[in-house]
Structure 1
Amino acid sequence: MITRFDDFCIHQTVEPICQPATSDRNFYDRYWMNGFDIGGNFMFEMGLALYPNRRVMDAHFGILVDGVQHLFHASRRAPRDRSELAVGPLCLEILQPLRTLRVTLAPNETGIECDLYFTARTVPEEEPQSVLHDDGRLIMHTSRFTQMGRWHGHVTINGRRITVDGSSTLGARDKSWGIRPVGEPEGGAPPSQAREPRVYWVWSPLDFGDFCTQFNTFEDADGKPTQLAACRMPAYDDPELIPEDGANAIHAMATARHRIDWMPGTRRARRAELDLVDASGESLHIDLTPMLTFYVSGVGYQHPEWGHGMWKGEEVIATESWRVDELNPLDFRHVHVHQLVRATIGDRVGYGTLETLSFGRHAPSGFKSFLDGAA
Structure 2
Amino acid sequence: MIPTIAPLTDADELLNHQIVNTHATVGSADRAWTEKVWFALARKDGALQASFGLGKYTNRNVLDGFAGVQIGTQQRTVRASRVLRPRIEDLSVGPLAYEVVEPFKAIRITLAANAVQPIAFELTFTATMPAFFEKRDALYAAGRAASDVIRYHQAGTVSGWIEIDGTRHAVDPDEWFGFRDHSWGIREHVGKDPTDLVPGNIGATGGSKAGQAYHFNWLVSRIERPDGTSYDLAYYFRDFGGDGPPEFFSGYINESDGTQIPILHLYPEIAYRKGDKGAMSGRVTAIVAGKGKSVVERLFEIEALNPEMGFRLLPGMYGPWKDQIHGSFKGEDFLDGECVDDVNSPDKTAENYRWQIRDRPIRIREGANSGYGDMESIIIGEYPGVTLV
**Structure 1 length as normaliser, TM-score?**
0.88
Equivalent residue in structure 2 for 1:326, among 345, 351, 371: 345
2:230 pairs with 1:213: no
The one of 321, 333, 344 equivalent to 1:304 is 321
> Is 2:285 the counterpart of 1:275?
yes
* Partners of 2:70 and 2:223 in 1: CA distance: 23
The alpha carbon displacement at 1:365 in A equals 5.9
Matching residue of 2:358: 337
- Report the counterpart of residue 252 of structure 2 in structure 1: 231
1:257 and 2:263 aligned: no
Amino acid across the alignment from 1:218: R
Aligned to 2:3: none
Contact 1:122 1:233 in 2 (8 A): no
Counterpart of 2:4 in structure 1 is none
Q: Which amino acid aligns with 1:294?
A: F
* Amino acid in the other structure paired with 1:308: H
3-state SS of the aligned residue for 1:278? strand
- What TM-score results when the alignment is normalised by the length of structure 2? 0.85
What is the rounded CA distance, in whole Å, between the counterparts of 1:194 and 1:128 in structure 2?
24
- Indicate the residue corresponding to 1:25 in structure 2: 31
The answer (yes or no) to whether the contact 2:121–2:162 under 8 Å persists in 1 is yes
Q: Distance in 1 between matches of 2:311 and 2:253?
A: 25
Aligned 1:158-237 pairs, distance under 5 A: 158-180=165-187, 181-190=189-198, 193=203, 197-198=208-209, 200-209=215-224, 210-223=230-243, 224-235=245-256
| Correspondence for 1:86 among 80, 87, 92 | 92
CA contact (8 A) 1:56 1:311 kept: yes
The equivalent residue for 2:118 is 111
SS in 2 for 1:225: coil
> Does the 8 Å CA contact 1:365/1:374 hold for their aligned counterparts?
no
**How far has the Cα of 1:105 moved from its partner?**
1.7
User: How far apart in 1 are the matches of 2:82 and 2:379?
Assistant: 31
- Aligned residue number for residue 356 of structure 1: 377
**Equivalent of residue 285 in structure 1, options 295, 299, 316:** 299
In structure 1, distance between residues paired with 2:336 and 2:119: 11
2:227 matched residue in structure 1: none
The residue number in structure 2 matching 1:239 is none
CA contact (8 A) 1:56 1:78 kept: yes
**CA deviations over 1:87-135 (Å, ceiling 9, x no partner):** 0121100111111100112222232211100011111111111112222
Computed over aligned residues only, the root mean square deviation of the Cα atoms, in angstroms, reads 2.2
The Cα shift of 1:220 comes to 2.7
Deviating above 4 A after TM superposition, structure 1's stretches of 4 or more consecutive aligned residues are none
2:175 equivalent to 1:157: no
Report if aligned partners of 2:157, 2:177 keep a CA contact under 8 Å in 1.
yes
Take 2:251 and 2:197, find their aligned partners in 1: how far apart are those partners? Answer: 39
- 1:139 equivalent in alignment to 2:142: no
Aligned equivalents of 1:278 and 1:201: distance in 2?
21
Q: 1:92 to 1:221 in 2, by over 3 A?
A: same
What SS class does the counterpart of residue 289 from structure 2 fall into?
coil
Name the CA distance, whole Å, in 2 between partners of 1:52 and 1:194.
30
Aligned to 1:238: none
CA distance in 2, matches of 1:336, 1:346: 29
Which segments of 5 or more consecutive residues in structure 1 lack a partner in the other structure? Answer: 236-242, 367-372
Deviation string, structure 1 residues 327-346 (Cα, Å, up to 9, x no partner): 52233141222211111223
Deviation at 1:353, TM superposition (A): 0.8
Amino acid at match of 1:335: Q
Report the Cα distance in structure 1 between the residues aligned to 2:9 and 2:186, rounded to whole angstroms: 23
Whether the aligned pair in 2 keeps the contact of 1:75 and 1:316 (CA below 8 Å) is yes
Q: CA deviation at 1:77?
A: 0.5
Pair 126,42 (structure 1): closer, same or farther in 2 beyond 3 Å = same
CA distance in structure 1 between the partners assigned to 2:103 and 2:166 by the alignment: 32
Alignment CA distance shift 1:197-1:91 (3 Å):
same
Kindly state the Cα deviation for residue 194 of structure 1 after the two structures are TM-superposed. Answer: 5.4
Cα contact 2:215–2:383 (8 A) shared by 1: no
Question: Using the alignment, how far apart are the partners of 2:86 and 2:12 within structure 1?
Answer: 12
Match of 1:76 in 2: 82
Distance in 2 of aligned mates of 1:182 and 1:350? 34
3-state DSSP class of the match of 2:182? strand
Kindly provide the amino acid, as one letter, of the partner of residue 215 in structure 1: Y
Give the corresponding residue for 1:44. 50
Aligned-residue offset at 1:80 = 4.7
Distance 1:251 1:365 in 2: 24
Q: What is the Cα deviation at residue 82 of structure 1? A: 4.7
Q: In structure 1, what is the Cα distance between the partners aligned to 2:74 and 2:223? A: 28
> Identity across aligned pairs (percent)?
24
Name the SS of the counterpart of 1:14 in structure 2.
coil
Distance 1:46 1:167, change over 3 A: same
After superposition, the C-alpha distances for 1:207-258 in whole angstroms (9 at most, x for unaligned) are 22322221222223234312223222344xxxxxxx7xx4xx3233343321
